């Protein structure tokens, strides 16, 4: 499994986004298992051809060719969660600073955060755009496209903590 972390280039995004990371795993690699812990960040994860199942404190993501794009919002958990990746994984994640996601969504965060790791689909073009972004092979170009998308959704939310 490979993880590459990128900081936002655009000054407006730096106010609201801590980082992006690209996670890739080949089908030949053994399953990857690790714990994730609650944090102050709001996380949006987008993966291509995966299906995620949640069972208590365990989250299992498997390759699933019949699912074009899966996207989850991670913000409402209070105990460690065991994460397991099985099969081929192509994922990109955005770590929003505290309150940062609010600059990019039209509704209150509670509207999107029902349940544990809920599906996240804030705009009608979101999943199609994310599918296109995930299909970009060059990581730097993929991050540029992701930044351009988030910039296109930037609103007027003023985060007092980002000053």
Q: Which of 9, 4, 20, 151 is nearest to 97 (CA)?
A: 20
What is the set of domains in the chain, with CATH numbers? 2-162 (2.60.120)
pLDDT attached to residue 60: 95
pTM of the model: 0.90
- The burial of 30, by beta-carbon neighbours within 10 Å (0-12 exposed, 13-18 middle, 19 or more buried), is given as exposed
Report pLDDT digits (tens) over 4-28. Answer: 999 999 999 999 999 999 999 999 9
pLDDT above 70 for 42: yes
């Amino acid at each position: 499994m490979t993880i590459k972390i990128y900081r936002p280039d655009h000054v407006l995004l730096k106010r609201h986004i801590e980082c992006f990371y690209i996670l890739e795993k080949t089908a030949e690699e053994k399953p990857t298992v690790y714990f994730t812990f609650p944090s102050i960040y709001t996380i949006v994860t987008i993966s291509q051809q995966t299906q995620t199942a949640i069972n208590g404190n365990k989250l299992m993501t498997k390759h699933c060719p019949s699912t074009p794009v899966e996207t989850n919002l991670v913000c409402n958990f209070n105990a460690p969660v065991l994460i397991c990746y099985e099969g081929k994984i192509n994922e990109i994640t955005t770590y929003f600073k505290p309150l940062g996601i609010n600059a990019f969504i039209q509704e209150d965060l509670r509207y999107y955060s029902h349940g544990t790791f809920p599906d996240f689909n804030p705009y009608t073009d979101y999943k199609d755009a994310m599918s296109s972004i995930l299909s970009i092979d060059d990581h730097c170009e993929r991050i540029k496209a992701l930044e351009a998308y988030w910039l296109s959704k930037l609103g007027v939310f003023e985060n007092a903590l980002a000053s």
